[in-house]
Amino acid sequence: MKNQLSKQQKRAGFGRRIKILAKILFGGLILIGLFYKIGFDRIAESLVQLNLWVLPLAIGFFVMFLWLSSLGSWVLLRAFSHLSFREFLPCYLPSWAFGLFLPGKLGEVSIIYYLKNRDITVGQGTAFFVVGKTVTVFALGMVASTGFFTFFSFRVAVQLFLLLMIVLGGFVFFLLSPFGRNVIRKVLPEKIHERFTGFSSAFSSYFKKHSRLLAMSLGIKLLGFGCIAVMNYFIFSVGLNVKILVFKILQVSTMETFSALIPISVNGLGIRQAMGIYLYGILGVNAPIVASSQIVGWVLIYLFGVIIFILPRPS
């Protein structure tokens, strides 16, 4: 019986790896095809003309984004922990960095195990993680929904907005309802289920007792998205000499993030870039300039990811 289960687990694991590899290849092909259509020489020409004085500004606003993102998550943790912000940072930053390099941002789940070493149970840590992601998606949705009405027809915008509300509302209702908890209990093996003790009470407490923390986290995360928009604004205006309103950039960046939820590539590889080029094209920005700004953004983000990996991590 154990051998049979082991074989089934190996097959399932092999199938997941093949699926992830296929998504990486598919996303990579989309990206290469997109840049090929734009013209690698045209993208290189835009990058060569980049004003390097923009880099300190971009780095400064990205650091502010990371700080606000960490703060927005730490606020949620205050529901059941007195862990200081200084103690929380070594847990949050490595998990964020892992999320850059692992498919589907699965690396961000590692924060649950870092928090376990800070006397926070797996159940509480999982509730914190799920609520944090829900708040992030809701914050993105608030901004992206304004973009729906800016870039699409009224009918399409209403459809997208309703779909977003249904998905978010359905997800929260599922996790809060007895039906959802029963499904989780049936799906998880008994040993794993025991580790998640406290998830249900911790999760529901956010909505019943800690609505103020949810609102604070939401506001802080919105400020963080604003920092990313300002960073991109400087990349466009100072770095590439293209003027775009900051709010328009904020709308595009949140809609890019939502496009990454389409499950046909890893972390939205290729899909996000295509969405950004399409939306900025509506605003009259040339594709080579958009691609150049995306490359500058990637380099900065992944450079920070590598630096965080090099720094000592909590055991």
CA atoms in the 13 A half-sphere facing the CB of 132: 23
- Lowest-confidence range among 4-13, 87-96, 151-160? 4-13
What is the model's pTM? 0.84
Sign of the four-CA dihedral 190, 191, 195, 197: positive
Residues 6+ apart with CB under 8 A from 73: 88, 92, 128, 132, 217
pLDDT in tens, 223-250: 999 999 999 999 999 989 999 999 999 9
Where residue 62 falls among pLDDT bands split at 50, 70, 90?
A: very high
| The pLDDT of residue 203 | 77
Whether 5 shows a pLDDT value over 50: the answer reads no
Do 223 and 67 touch, CB atoms closer than 8 A? Answer: no
| The pLDDT of residue 221 | 93
| The pLDDT of residue 153 | 87
- Lowest-confidence range among 44-53, 70-79, 123-132, 208-217? 123-132
- Give burial (CB, 10 Å; 0-12/13-18/19+) of 132: buried
